[in-house]
Structure 1
């Protein structure tokens, strides 16, 4: 049959759908079927009584009353199990329907609709689709065979009925035959079509449930990924905020301890620097936690931008480094996210220099080129510690920030592996074309 829902997307072939069988009726549906079957049986018996009382006998004769009741109940009562055992009900009803006609059972109106319901139920609830199809085809073929057989027997036995008051242009007998064929084609065709449509609708409902379950699983996975990304972002921000200031505090505290007895003034200055760094770290942590508590979409934790690079260099000078800053090219306004990424990369590079390099000088250069902006942080420390200086969260955080802006990160010896093995470089390049679009 053609798809009764042509506007819907085709059912995706999958192992689950290919093996799908419609679940049996629920207990509530079974109770409803029993009530409907009993009600239809009672109504059919009433109609049988009315037909015999009015003399509306299709075959001109009737069997004994017990036999009339037998055929009527045998046809109608199986509807109580039409959804639970659709194949057996369809076969029993169709066989009883033909048997009742052979025995001239008087009730022919409601029993025809009972046959319709049985064929429909088999199409809508049959578990084995191949078997359900061939059983329906066999029942319909048997019904038409019985129709032609009964017409032939009627013509052979004769005499032909008298058709009075005819006014059409067709022969009366031909009109009766054609009418019977059309009515039966409509009855059985509709039963087959609507049964198939109901089963297809149930299968599509099952497909939608599968898709909804997949969507829920996908949403749950997306939420888990979002949580993981947020945790990674928080870890990166905590690392950037805490590591830099704690490193400066450690250097200053060590310097203050060494000169505490010899030069109290220098020791006091070192302690003041430790205090200032601690306050700055606490302020940044408080700002970050405040932003994390905000409702709505995830926000990028503010910490600084290109305009605050001087503060980082000031901290480096307080830690005992000689700093240089060079800006080349025409500065352009950068998006806040990129400006903060540059700030964090420089902060991490300076932190690594303070912690690992034993350097005396650090050189920060910002180059605004035609199509990109470049950040270059170079020190004169020990490049042999490159593995330590670029490991852990520091390098991961820098690469994530650079990758997020389609940039390129380079880390390694500043002298390209020369004989002195001195100096280390962190260089990041960000495309300006995309920056301009984002801005």
Structure 2
């Protein structure tokens, strides 16, 4: 970040005033003494040229026209000895504020360089045309001032455009992050709720106790989901007073996810090693990746057996979630002890239907940290998700 102190508008105007005084001190005495006109004419002309430059930032165009007209008059009277230095100084803010110049900066820059080079090589005319050299050299100074103002304006416009694009990218990335978080929360919770609601619906007449247990899971899951959604949506109004948010989830919250998945008919084995001191961003990514992978198991493979491994070793976090796929011939009624001949709810899509926003979201989380991600069916059956997150860039 650029921490260079910037001058205020009043400070710049004060510097312009000092520049105007310096111009008068350097050029006015010689112009007045060497002029062929009385001092009563030379002094006002020099003041007309030098003094307005102090307020060039307040009224750029009027100041330039006044200074330029005074310079031409002084040149014609034989008072001006400098090559339109004050006029070029006054022209700079005019060029800086002109959005669509008629002459491009490259053209005026080439003209300025050509005039200065030719003048320095050939020299100023002497004899009866001594003022012509001053006029030619002054044109070079004016062209140079115009070119400088246009180039600075273009650079500032480019910097402002880049800053606006960066701000827009930041807003877009934040929206995508919030959308991804909401997807993970909603997808997991709704999958569990759907499974439990289907179970309760099919056994409420024959196994009311099992139905009541499923409804308790639905209540608990929906409460947790609402809490997380309130926290995520609160990011959009984080400036509001009195709003407190719970800590972001991490590996320590995985046992809760496992318990919900087991209530939905998935037998889970969880292996956590060295996850206690993970950075906040990586800890959240680990939680969300496992959450989405486990959601896919509940949605597409339950009842099934699932193994989850999260190991921190060798400067990286290894995440592996595997399942053995849907067990053929085992219905939801058999899993909960109901009558096998009773009509059961429709089965979920097979493993091949898992590719969607969930896997894309997991891959994006991994790529943010420069890690690697793989997901797909296993040769022996089931599905596997594997992610590696480096702890250091």
Q: What is the distance in 1 between the residues matched to 2:127 and 2:312?
A: 91
The alignment's TM-score, normalised by the length of structure 1, stands at 0.56
Per-residue deviation, 1:81: 11
Q: What is the distance in 1 between the residues matched to 2:198 and 2:294?
A: 18
* Counterparts in 2 of 1:117 and 1:364: CA distance versus 1, 3 Å: closer
Corresponding residue for residue 427 of structure 1: 386
User: Is the partner of 1:402 in helix, strand or coil?
Assistant: helix
- Please say if residues 115 and 139 of structure 2, whose CA atoms lie closer than 8 Å, have aligned partners that are also in contact: no
* Counterparts in 2 of 1:366 and 1:216: CA distance versus 1, 3 Å: same
Gaps of at least 5 residues in structure 2 are 1-34, 42-64, 96-101, 328-348
1:222-245 residue CA offsets vs partner (Å, 9 max, x unmatched) = 222112111111110100111101
Select the residue among 392, 406, 409 that pairs with 2:373.
409
Select the residue among 399, 407, 418 that pairs with 2:363.
399
Per-residue deviation, 1:250: 0.5
* Counterparts in 2 of 1:301 and 1:209: CA distance versus 1, 3 Å: farther
- Please say if residues 36 and 78 of structure 2, whose CA atoms lie closer than 8 Å, have aligned partners that are also in contact: no
User: Is the partner of 2:318 in helix, strand or coil?
Assistant: strand
Q: What is the distance in 1 between the residues matched to 2:259 and 2:163?
A: 46
Per-residue deviation, 1:254: 0.2
Q: What is the distance in 1 between the residues matched to 2:84 and 2:315?
A: 76
Per-residue deviation, 1:196: 2.4
Corresponding residue for residue 13 of structure 2: none
User: Is the partner of 1:401 in helix, strand or coil?
Assistant: helix
The alignment's TM-score, normalised by the length of structure 2, stands at 0.62
* Counterparts in 2 of 1:119 and 1:246: CA distance versus 1, 3 Å: closer
Q: What is the distance in 1 between the residues matched to 2:124 and 2:178?
A: 75
* Counterparts in 2 of 1:358 and 1:115: CA distance versus 1, 3 Å: same
Corresponding residue for residue 243 of structure 1: 187
Q: What is the distance in 2 between the residues matched to 1:203 and 1:227?
A: 36
Equivalent residues in 2 for 1:107-256, closer than 5 Å: 111-113=77-79, 144-146=126-128, 192-256=136-200
* Counterparts in 2 of 1:407 and 1:217: CA distance versus 1, 3 Å: same
Corresponding residue for residue 266 of structure 2: 321
1:362-414 residue CA offsets vs partner (Å, 9 max, x unmatched) = 111123333322111111115994442132x2112111111122211111123
Q: What is the distance in 2 between the residues matched to 1:142 and 1:282?
A: 83
- Please say if residues 241 and 284 of structure 1, whose CA atoms lie closer than 8 Å, have aligned partners that are also in contact: yes
* Counterparts in 2 of 1:303 and 1:249: CA distance versus 1, 3 Å: farther
1:115-171 residue CA offsets vs partner (Å, 9 max, x unmatched) = 97799979x89978688967996xx98952547xxxxxxxxxxxxxxxxxxxxxxxx
* Counterparts in 2 of 1:47 and 1:371: CA distance versus 1, 3 Å: closer
- Please say if residues 320 and 387 of structure 2, whose CA atoms lie closer than 8 Å, have aligned partners that are also in contact: yes
Q: What is the distance in 1 between the residues matched to 2:309 and 2:85?
A: 84
Per-residue deviation, 1:317: 0.9
Q: What is the distance in 2 between the residues matched to 1:307 and 1:45?
A: 93
Q: What is the distance in 2 between the residues matched to 1:131 and 1:292?
A: 54
User: Is the partner of 1:334 in helix, strand or coil?
Assistant: coil
Equivalent residues in 2 for 1:76-115, closer than 5 Å: 111-113=77-79
User: Is the partner of 2:277 in helix, strand or coil?
Assistant: coil
When Rg is computed on C-alpha atoms for both structures, the one with the higher figure is 1
- Please say if residues 300 and 354 of structure 2, whose CA atoms lie closer than 8 Å, have aligned partners that are also in contact: yes
Q: What is the distance in 1 between the residues matched to 2:75 and 2:137?
A: 21
Q: What is the distance in 2 between the residues matched to 1:327 and 1:110?
A: 90
Per-residue deviation, 1:111: 2.3
Q: What is the distance in 1 between the residues matched to 2:309 and 2:75?
A: 97
Q: What is the distance in 2 between the residues matched to 1:425 and 1:235?
A: 25
* Counterparts in 2 of 1:110 and 1:290: CA distance versus 1, 3 Å: closer
Q: What is the distance in 1 between the residues matched to 2:229 and 2:191?
A: 16
